[in-house]
Chains A and B, each alone.
Chain A
Amino acid sequence: MKPSHPKLAILCLEDEPAVLDAVVRDLAPFEELFLIEPVESVVEARRVISVLQEKGVPLALALCDHLLPGVSGTEFLVELNHSDATKATRKVLITAQAGLTDTIRAINDGNLNHFIAKPWQPGDLQKVVRDQLTSYLVATETNPLPYLALLDAQRLLEAMQQGNTTTDT
């Protein structure tokens, strides 16, 4: 059955193919309802984002490595935060190498939502992704019903009731 709602996307930015594979593998449970876009560089990421924008697919979550050739993951998150289309995107940094300055910049200017230290446990990453996607749906008042079984149903339903986003017809 074709989903009656626009799909949402998850971007994974990581320059090491083996690590990128690991991230994508961990995201398998989310594939059913989210478009997963693995990219290896910021240039590629920008291209993917503009294609998504053309198709009208909002970017719900960006998982970025910090240490990348050229533009750093932190700078990329700052960039996302300053663009209207990706302002609401939940931003997660996965890294072992970000220093204090970068971390501060990611939080203050990139509106970083979560920090994952490498190496991570698969369960941990999934939990973070689930929380962040739930927060995205709540913040953007997206119809949560298609996502109840996959994400944090309790939080989604409470937000639905509190925000009065769906009512009797």
Chain B
Amino acid sequence: MKRLITAATGLALLALPLFLPLDGLSAAGRITCGLFLFAAVYWMFAPIPIYATSVVVILLQLALLSNASPLVEFLGFPYASVDAPSADKFTGTLAHPILILFLGGFMLAAGAQKYHLEKNLVRVFLSPCKSPQLLLIGVLGVCALLSAFMSNTATTAMMFAVLIPVLGALELDDPLRVSLALAVPIGANIGGIITPIGTPPNAVALGALAEQGIRVSFASWMVIGAPLALVSLVFVTVVLLKMFPPKAKTIELKMTGRFDLSAKAVLLYVVAGLTIVLWATESVHEIPSSVVAFLPIALLPALGIIGTNEIRGISWEVLWLVAGGISLGYSLKDSGLATWMISLVNWTSLGNTGVIFGFLVLSVLMANFLSHTVTTSLLVPIAISLGTSGVLAGPGSLAVIAIGIAIASSYGMSLPISTPPNAIAIASGAVDTPQMAKVGVVMAIFGLVVIGGLAIFLWPLLLK
């Protein structure tokens, strides 16, 4: 019943702007306005899965706003000053270069999983951690490192599978249980900001920037994300040790296994290493990261390193989710809706700092309750419009605000529903929601202060 009401409300909002006296807004702008409201309701309340909403958004754009739409001609919905955009532009979002970059990352992760590379890395990292403090640092670090390249959720699931015997061996009232159970999702969430492929919101920001002709290289993202992640990890280590001082003196961690040295596994290591090196050195050779991503996409199947099973196991729906976010941003700009909305508010009174900080706060707040990708998909197009209309000034302001929003969304992690890694941590039974919320709120405030400071003072210099 609730689902039906949400579904109907979303559809009603889709039509609503057509009937409102929105002076100065073209018909295309009204349709886009309805589409944005529809997407917001469907993404927030999820009457259908959020990735399904994404592809429905693309369908609606094709049906209502593209040059392939009979309605655009027939009903006389002209764009204010431009031709209706080509249908290919919308369908093409499913193969957007940023999505290809992600696909490359997914293929590497699938390969790593098949040959247990990630588990062996965990073993190498954690085996020297004999004290509770070291183990906590090790868990945070290795979760962050792995989730920089693979999904935060897969990292968390794997890490809990490794830690369950450790948690079981600790006394039930040892606070170390809580801090370890929190370290996994926090490490994984933070790790997502290290690289462009760390987590899907990053793709939405980069896709929107690409549309503006702004290319952010893999390495320049890392220059922004990696130090921030490092500072956050140090901070959360201190917070967790203070809030949950461990009782156990030593840790017994039994992990066996060794690196797979079969020919295929070694080839995987080589392809993965080469891909990552090429990603990190884009400024030297100037091959775009999405082009480099085709190395794993083509070589892993060609060399028989991964097969149809792994290809089918890839999270295609995440790519759809991101595609919808990127596609929605197109219409906001093309239809003139963005310019019109901005003209309504006297943004300049807020100033650069106020606008940036406002979006960061919104992003963290929304991301606590919504999917991080959805948060980014809703906020970045609006922020980018502000930038292009001259409200935001200063070098690199578009990149600063888009990347800031994406990164800030990763700090929305105070509730079990905030992210799938949090849900796994709560389900483990080792931590409860109030404990998660306490640390989550501390992290959100820390994130806002640090991201805000960097976005205003340092990033403009790096991204100009």
Contacts and interface: CB of A to CB of B under 8 A. Distances in A.
B151 interface: yes
Nearest to B321: A169
Contact of B157 (A146, A149, A166, A169): A166
Nearest to B109: A164
Interface string B313-356: 11101100100000000000000000000000000000000000
Contacts of A145: 423-424, 427
Interface in B383-431: 419-420, 423-424, 427-429
Contacts of A167: 151, 153-154, 315, 317-318, 420
Nearest to A159: B157
A127 to B, nearest CB: 16
Contact of A161 (B154, B200, B314): B154
B428 A148 contact: yes
B265 interface: no
A95 to B, nearest CB: 34
B186 to A, nearest CB: 15
Contacts of A153: 160-161, 164, 428
Interface residues of B, number: 33
B371 interface: yes
B157 A161 contact: yes
Contacts of A154: 161, 164-165
B420 A169 contact: yes
A146 B429 CA distance: 10
A71 to B, nearest CB: 40
A44 interface: no
Interface in B419-445: 419-420, 423-424, 427-429
A162 B165 CA distance: 19
A167 to B, nearest CB: 4
Interface in A141-165: 145-146, 148-149, 153-154, 157-158, 160-164
Interface of B: 50, 110, 113, 151-154, 157-158, 160-161, 164-165, 192, 199-200, 313-315, 317-318, 321, 371-374, 419-420, 423-424, 427-429
Given A154-B165, A168-B200, 8 more contacts: A146-B427, A148-B429, A153-B160, A160-B424, A161-B113, A162-B113, A164-B110, A167-B315
Interface of A: 145-146, 148-149, 153-154, 157-158, 160-164, 166-169
